Structure 1
């Protein structure tokens, strides 16, 4: 296995005047991974993502990028934020440009890229996220799903290797969740590592290959997602439940190893056919 792009080693963080939000966390991200961060609200998932992207600096422990310790200032911090992009739960929090074009160009311009290279990066990222027709419109007037795609285009224009998503399925109806999964599949096909924080276990089972369980500011378990959902005691401790499809598969397909359980309703239906 190739070395990780990103590592957190024994990282702790406490918000001012509060109990520790995350402590003694070890976490790594490898190229091309699909990782689900699982845990209830307030478990520490968002804090973990903010530490991964450099929005927060650890009070103890260290963050490593391609094996090198990150100094949370100057070029070291800029390199971390270029390599590891973060999509907030609410896209309004990161849309600052007067137009979609200026919004997407902000990152490449801050990297000091030549103007023609910036323009090319903007066009490529907008096309990848299907927002080209909005380039000259104010992002504030777009729909929620369109805003989300613009924030992802922001990161693609920076040529990031890792994209973090904080609760992207929150408040989405099933149709928009399906569109999100299509977008995630497209990003994965480009070779990007994707880390998604979620409490939607059914989405996690459909999409992820690895799961990290966070509760009470601690990482309880990190491993293949089928092993996570097979551990009843772990799920109970973390306040999680099994995906319905996983639970039914345990009953109907006891001969199968969990890694071969169907991930989608279509796969499940095919398994039932004689």
Structure 2
């Protein structure tokens, strides 16, 4: 079995006004990875997501999903969207039913499940995202954070193989940002692939197995979440800052004239452990 769930070859997308959002992008996504997609505004991250879910068709190039070239007929797209769930940055683009429970029910109902199975999935998804108490609330009365959690619950109820999340923590307070990231960690296992677009380099550095960086519709980095922040050229191109844990550890090494380490701490706890065990202070 091919371990790459997506093969993207020469993907180009030109909008009707002549703007190129993607420019010959080639990328492989390995199954089971937690991937952070980074890049400045206009880099093409959201456009890439819309292609991976079949909402946009390429101007040129092709996408293979699970080894097969992506097709755009109704049957093929229905199958794709059962397996690839997308959570938009703006939840108002995603929520359209009268109340929370109905909105979360929409996806499972389209899977052809019986009413009891749908209700079981909806109840489970609401509990996991802490929106059970909102089940009868009209979606347009929800706060931004509540809307984001309901949008995630709607995808969770579908149990897709691939998750695409566009800025899932943007606009949320620290508590619910942590809750959403904890939920994604609980969802993730070797058969589930999560691709998360974010401007939060601290989140990407701490959470991701792999980082993908885009600039001007092109891929400029794909690799581990530490090496990218050693590359000043990539950081400059993509308008990225270094995560504070990385920057602090690097500064401590330089201030003590110590050699660069192969293993950089990626969380606050790991940084504190390094300070204690290595006596870097």
Asked if the contact 1:8/1:52 (under 8 Å) is kept, the reply is no
Q: Does 1:68 align with 2:71?
A: no
**Aligned partners of 2:176 and 2:122: how far apart in 1?**
24
- Structure 2 unpaired stretches of 5+: none
Measured after TM superposition, the shift of residue 191 of structure 1 is 5.3
Alignment of 1:164-179 (within 5 A): 164-179=164-179
Measured after TM superposition, the shift of residue 114 of structure 1 is 2.4
Residues 49-96 of structure 1 deviation map (CA, whole Å, 9 limit, x = unaligned): 111111111111122221111211211111111111111111111101
Residues 101-144 of structure 1 deviation map (CA, whole Å, 9 limit, x = unaligned): 21111112222222232222222222222222222222222222
- Structure 1 unpaired stretches of 5+: none
Q: Does 1:249 align with 2:249?
A: yes
Alignment of 1:14-25 (within 5 A): 14-25=14-25
Q: Does 1:218 align with 2:218?
A: yes
**Aligned partners of 1:115 and 1:4: how far apart in 2?**
35
**Superposition RMSD on alpha carbons, in Å?**
2.0
For 2:269, which of 243, 252, 266 is the aligned residue? 266
Asked if the contact 1:131/1:146 (under 8 Å) is kept, the reply is yes
Structure 1 stretch displaced more, 117-126 or 14-23: 117-126
**Aligned partners of 1:239 and 1:131: how far apart in 2?**
36
**Aligned partners of 2:16 and 2:228: how far apart in 1?**
33
2:55 match:
55
Asked if the contact 2:88/2:165 (under 8 Å) is kept, the reply is yes
Question: Structure 1 pair 190/30, CA: closer, same or farther in 2 (3 Å)?
Answer: closer
Tell me the TM-score normalized by structure 1. 0.91
Tell me the TM-score normalized by structure 2. 0.89
**Aligned partners of 1:100 and 1:28: how far apart in 2?**
36
